[in-house]
Amino acid sequence: QVQLVESGGGLVQVGGSLRLSCAASGAPFSSASMAWFRQAPGKEREFVTVSRRTGLGYVADNADFVKGRFTISRDNTKNTVYLQMSSLKPEDTAVYFCAASWGRNDVYTNSGTYPYWGQGTQVTVSS
Over residues 38-76, the pLDDT tens digits come to 999 999 999 999 999 988 899 999 999 998 999 999 999
Instruction: Convert the pLDDT of each residue in 66-80 to its tens digit.
Output: 989 999 999 999 999
Which residues on adjacent β-strands are paired with residue 12?
Answer: 125
Please report, to the nearest 10 degrees, the dihedral formed by the alpha carbons of residues 9, 11, 16, 21 taken in order: -10
